[in-house]
Structure 1
Amino acid sequence: MDAIAQGEWDIIIVGAGSAGCALAWRLSADPRLRVLVVEAGGTDRRLFVQMPLGYGKLFHDPRVNWCFRAEPDPGLAGVADHWPRGRLLGGSSSINAMVWIRGHPGDYEDWAEAAGSFWGWPEALAAFRALEDWEGGADEWHGTGGPLHVSTGARDPHPLVRRAIAAAQAAGLPFNPDFNGASLEGVGFYPMTIRGGRRNSAARAFLRPAMRRGRVAVMTRAQATRLLWDGHRCTGVEVVRRGRILHLRAAREVVLSAGAVGTPQILMLSGVGDGAALAALGLPVLHHNPQVGRNLCDHQGLNYTWRMRVPTYNQVLRPWWGKGLAGARWLLSGRGPLAFSINHGGGFFRTDPGRNRPNMQLYIQAFSTLIPRAGERPVLSPDPFPGMSLGLSNCRPTSRGEIALRTPDPLAPPRITVNALSSDEDIREMLDGVRMLRRIAAQPPFAEVVAEELRPGPAVATEEALVADIRARSGTVYHPSCTARMGRDPARSVLAPDLTVRGVEGLRVADASAFPTLPGGNTNAPAILVGWKAGDLILSRRAA
């Protein structure tokens, strides 16, 4: 590892998450480039990382998870929400629910409006087709042969998932066989980043193949603390590794891929941010940009839960012998309940038919976790009765938060102020959304196997009570974005459209913090897209 620390690098990527891994893959195609990826966490070669449903065991595990805690939030009834983010090779793609949703084409047209046609839907679709290996075969929407295998998700669903899909159809939603195809709207089975019954993280799909090319080196257990400068030019990064401070030098540029929390934190620690706030903490101000850390967007969601008359995954995964049988089946065949995300089905719908695109995402879970163990996300320890949940999250919230420094200590977590559900529009959407959940549950394919509604319960019926329940039980669905957003307007962005940081040289950002706006769906696919297209830019393509 000393050889890596003392090596000469053209490009240093800070963070081996979704975008950083995709970028490393792209850059490894150029034999002239010497690339170093610096990751604060360790290996992804862990049982519960590789096991798709094992992510429940990683939810509070500080060995692989930053385990951030947001500020107490009035919009969430004063709760200080838990914010898991991946701290290992693959980043959050190694601990997420593996649902692969690109987003609505209109989301990328919003990006094009903010940052130019390079980020619009035609370019995004071409990139997705290039990077994917779609299990369903190549067509006008999908490619095959790319580094990232994506499964259709239609294999071995629980019978109750099929019932919930049928109920959603009875409630008026069309069946959608492919959420990344001609339309996003409707209900069906979620495509997943799973290959051969194992999680197909960004580390597995992109980083390890890049390393095998011999042009990309990786340093783990190395937390970036600040950027190094020669005047206003970034020349490297300072990291702490096993108690030692190391200075790593990049001849060409540094790319921050530390995520929507880590990237603005590193920028501010390095003197790029709101000048007054940095000076108040005794930090030098290299470039004043109050947009750094601002514009935090995230999807908020909650579940409605029912006791069922028929068995759910609770009866399979609650007893020790059930876990053992499911584990043996997964190890031997790569199949069974442990081989999938618990969100096996779901979809997208509009709470108002006048909207031009879906504004709510639906999740179907053939299990329930109303009786959690302390300190654990109990996906593998569900309730001792047959329970099932339908969940939702808002696609395009209008509420905005902020990432800010608490202290100049680079090893201290930043302050995360979400301001969740702080706008009337967001509350109205959520209220309309939960009414749709009950409408789905009232349809015969679902209602005929329901014993009772457990959460929030039939007594919660008035608008006031429903809103109080939304605030009391909602929380992040783990899609923080936009905290160092790109754009053509310098007054409203941190990055230029080519992902370079305004006001300095030799520094770029490639991760979800760069999103101009939050896409209406899961964010792993858009984050990987940003990393992939950052490779285009570095390998001499230019944003329009």
Structure 2
Amino acid sequence: MRLEQQTFTYIIVGAGSAGCVVANRLSKNPNNTVLLIEAGGKDTYPWIHIPVGYFKTMHNPKTDWCFQTEKDPGLNNRSIKWPRGKVLGGSSSLNGLLYIRGQAADYDHWRQLGNDGWSYESVLPYFKKAEDQERGQDEFHGSGGPLKVSNIRTHRAICDAYIDAAEEIGIPRNDDFNGHEQEGAGYFQLTSHNGRRCSSAVAYLNPIKHRKNLTIVTKALVHKVILKNGRATGVELSFGKNSTQVIHSNNEIVLSAGAIGSPHILQLSGIGDPQHLQSVNIPAKHNLPGVGQNLRDHLQVRAVYKTKQKNTLNDEVNNPIKKMMMGIEYALFRTGPLTMGASQVGIFARTHPSLEVPDVQFHFQPLSSDNPGEGLHNFSAFTSSVCQLRPESQGQVLAASTNPQDYPKIHPNYLQSEIDQQVTLAGMKLSRQLAHSKALSPHIAEEYDPGPHVQTDEELLEHARNTANTIYHPVGTCKMGTDPMAVVDDRLRVRGIKGLRVADASIMPTLVSGNTNAPAIMIGEKAADMILDDA
């Protein structure tokens, strides 16, 4: 396959959470010709659209890049899997559907770092613009936007007990983590509609994919950005094993390939730290040492508790009749376990009373397995995982060679910081405090993981190093800012290069306090407005 049209007003690389948004908004003007390039395929795999289908899409090369980290010293030299969406919708087509924006203080901090227009007051209108909130419009929420945000469609007694346990130990109830306050315990909302996933491809591409000025190509790998006299003029790409082709832009190129893809493409283009580029035989064209640096991610430590009653998803999945009934219920009513997101109940809590805002997040699931995305245990159990919201530890993403098909090397550097270790320990202890509450303990038969033999701080931290995993929120590798390591400015323009922007989670200077899909979509909305304003 080759593209017949050679030149576009805008080229967008990556049809993920942000890229679909940018393509929608830029192509609204019929005078703009827009090319959206996706390395993965179309989102036709049925499991993408069934909320619980992330069990089938993660670690599946049909839909997932299937990245793996380098051996990480903070995890006792383990290499772990890093799922990233490789399909229309990107990671929004295989994530856990949880709609969380983070704290107002996160965005105010971005503004304090010198990024004009990124305070909470400035970004809130973009969250609202994107949103079609099932509960309706108010001070914090929008209705009528492309992205459907819905209440969960299934409740369980064990989930209610978990919320009661939080309240018992002093964590307030909270029915809206994206409202006035994030702190508290309650049910998550999901990016779903009528029991089906609302990915950014479903929300932003499906309604407009037949626009004559929008070209969407799939299974096309971008090799690099073409630079000429300090300006981005086009991209080199290939379809499968076919020869490469150069497509030109007469206005701007937008990288929305994510926290792994965007810095990798910049490095392949000769934009980055000259010393690193030369070490892998890439000719250095523009000195930007922050490319691929400042990698941050949420690290989750899971606790699994066996339950006394057979009231968890494990029991239903392992019973052929109940499993069949789940499918029938979903087919007839779009309700039941198949509508579940990655977690049902969340808690945002402070590990110390002196803190002004929550520093840990819990994800509660009425199910358990040895690893997320793998089969469920053959006993009744629930999982309570905890992650530190604002880790200090920073890693890097580094191109491994000149070959665009060679995956970059991912070094997360988890638990590098002493503070990260202490907050992780405090979160693990808080997890046990919840389990020992009067509300939850009657449901628990025993602690399965980490198990009662793990008690001291040293043992708990060692358990975290041996078992903790990503919660799939990498950001920061093309960070926005004014310091020497910033890759883009507050208009998301790549510093020192004309006609090139980055619009995805890689531009986050620091990690937001929660799940990253909603913020990535907000970034897409804001980026599109800035591109159109600057035009």
Q: TM-score range by the shorter chain?
A: over 0.9
Query: Displacement, 1:7?
Result: 4.1
The reply on whether 1:404 has 2:398 as its aligned counterpart is yes
Tell me how far apart the structure 2 counterparts of residues 541 and 34 of structure 1 sit (CA, whole Å).
17
One-letter amino acid matched to 1:424: E
Determine helix, strand or coil for the equivalent of 1:118: coil
- For 2:416, which of 407, 419, 422 is the aligned residue? 422
Q: Report if the CA contact (8 A) 1:17-1:203 is conserved.
A: yes
- For 2:174, which of 161, 173, 176 is the aligned residue? 176
Query: Displacement, 1:256?
Result: 0.3
What CA deviation, in whole Å up to 9, does each residue of 1:181-201 have, x standing for no partner? 110000000111011101100
Q: Give the 3 Å change call, closer, same or farther, for CA 163–33 of structure 1 in structure 2.
A: same
Query: Displacement, 1:205?
Result: 0.3
Determine helix, strand or coil for the equivalent of 2:451: coil
The reply on whether 1:389 has 2:383 as its aligned counterpart is yes
Structure 1 partner of 2:522: 529
Query: Displacement, 1:240?
Result: 1.4
Structure 2 partner of 1:351: 351
Determine helix, strand or coil for the equivalent of 1:60: coil
Q: Report if the CA contact (8 A) 1:13-1:20 is conserved.
A: yes
Q: Report if the CA contact (8 A) 2:130-2:521 is conserved.
A: no
One-letter amino acid matched to 1:444: K
Tell me how far apart the structure 2 counterparts of residues 34 and 331 of structure 1 sit (CA, whole Å).
40
- For 1:161, which of 136, 139, 159 is the aligned residue? 159
Indicate the percent of aligned positions where both proteins have the same amino acid. Answer: 40
Alignment of 1:477-516 (within 5 A): 477-489=471-483, 491-516=484-509
The reply on whether 1:234 has 2:232 as its aligned counterpart is yes
Determine helix, strand or coil for the equivalent of 1:492: coil
Structure 2 partner of 1:248: 247
Structure 2 partner of 1:138: 137
Query: Displacement, 1:541?
Result: 5.6
Determine helix, strand or coil for the equivalent of 1:444: coil
Q: Report if the CA contact (8 A) 2:315-2:380 is conserved.
A: yes
Tell me how far apart the structure 1 counterparts of residues 275 and 442 of structure 2 sit (CA, whole Å).
61
Q: Give the 3 Å change call, closer, same or farther, for CA 471–128 of structure 1 in structure 2.
A: same
Query: Displacement, 1:232?
Result: 1.6
One-letter amino acid matched to 1:255: V
Structure 1 partner of 2:456: 462
One-letter amino acid matched to 1:218: I
Structure 1 partner of 2:373: 377
Tell me how far apart the structure 1 counterparts of residues 237 and 361 of structure 2 sit (CA, whole Å).
39
- For 1:436, which of 430, 434, 437 is the aligned residue? 430
Structure 2 partner of 1:114: 113
One-letter amino acid matched to 1:230: K
Alignment of 1:283-298 (within 5 A): 283-298=282-297
For structure 2, which runs of at least 5 residues remain unmatched after alignment?
none
Tell me how far apart the structure 2 counterparts of residues 473 and 135 of structure 1 sit (CA, whole Å).
37
Q: Report if the CA contact (8 A) 2:306-2:447 is conserved.
A: yes
Structure 1 stretch displaced more, 94-103 or 313-322: 313-322
Tell me how far apart the structure 2 counterparts of residues 66 and 460 of structure 1 sit (CA, whole Å).
35
Determine helix, strand or coil for the equivalent of 1:26: helix
Query: Displacement, 1:209?
Result: 1.9
Q: Report if the CA contact (8 A) 2:291-2:477 is conserved.
A: yes
Tell me how far apart the structure 2 counterparts of residues 336 and 445 of structure 1 sit (CA, whole Å).
25
One-letter amino acid matched to 2:198: N
Tell me how far apart the structure 2 counterparts of residues 342 and 39 of structure 1 sit (CA, whole Å).
25
Tell me how far apart the structure 2 counterparts of residues 281 and 33 of structure 1 sit (CA, whole Å).
38
One-letter amino acid matched to 2:522: L
What CA deviation, in whole Å up to 9, does each residue of 1:75-115 have, x standing for no partner? 11211010000000000000000101011000000111224
Q: Report if the CA contact (8 A) 2:363-2:385 is conserved.
A: yes
Q: Report if the CA contact (8 A) 1:368-1:382 is conserved.
A: yes
Q: Report if the CA contact (8 A) 2:277-2:283 is conserved.
A: yes
Q: Report if the CA contact (8 A) 1:402-1:417 is conserved.
A: yes
Tell me how far apart the structure 1 counterparts of residues 462 and 170 of structure 2 sit (CA, whole Å).
27
Query: Displacement, 1:539?
Result: 0.9
Structure 2 partner of 1:332: 332
Structure 2 partner of 1:189: 187
Tell me how far apart the structure 2 counterparts of residues 433 and 205 of structure 1 sit (CA, whole Å).
35
Determine helix, strand or coil for the equivalent of 1:99: coil
Q: Report if the CA contact (8 A) 2:282-2:401 is conserved.
A: no
Q: Report if the CA contact (8 A) 1:88-1:94 is conserved.
A: yes
Determine helix, strand or coil for the equivalent of 1:12: strand
Structure 2 partner of 1:367: 367
One-letter amino acid matched to 2:226: L
Determine helix, strand or coil for the equivalent of 1:348: strand
Normalized against structure 2, the TM-score is what?
Answer: 0.97
One-letter amino acid matched to 1:216: L
Structure 1 partner of 2:223: 225
What CA deviation, in whole Å up to 9, does each residue of 1:348-383 have, x standing for no partner? 00101111211100111101113x6xxx822xx311
Determine helix, strand or coil for the equivalent of 2:343: coil
Tell me how far apart the structure 1 counterparts of residues 383 and 532 of structure 2 sit (CA, whole Å).
46
Q: Give the 3 Å change call, closer, same or farther, for CA 141–354 of structure 1 in structure 2.
A: same
Tell me how far apart the structure 2 counterparts of residues 320 and 230 of structure 1 sit (CA, whole Å).
62
One-letter amino acid matched to 1:445: A
For structure 1, which runs of at least 5 residues remain unmatched after alignment?
none
Determine helix, strand or coil for the equivalent of 1:443: coil
Query: Displacement, 1:28?
Result: 2.3
Normalized against structure 1, the TM-score is what?
Answer: 0.96
Q: Report if the CA contact (8 A) 2:476-2:506 is conserved.
A: yes
Q: Report if the CA contact (8 A) 2:100-2:518 is conserved.
A: yes
Structure 1 partner of 2:10: 11
Q: Report if the CA contact (8 A) 2:289-2:485 is conserved.
A: no
Query: Displacement, 1:333?
Result: 1.5
The reply on whether 1:323 has 2:319 as its aligned counterpart is no
Query: Displacement, 1:328?
Result: 2.2
Q: Report if the CA contact (8 A) 1:24-1:210 is conserved.
A: no
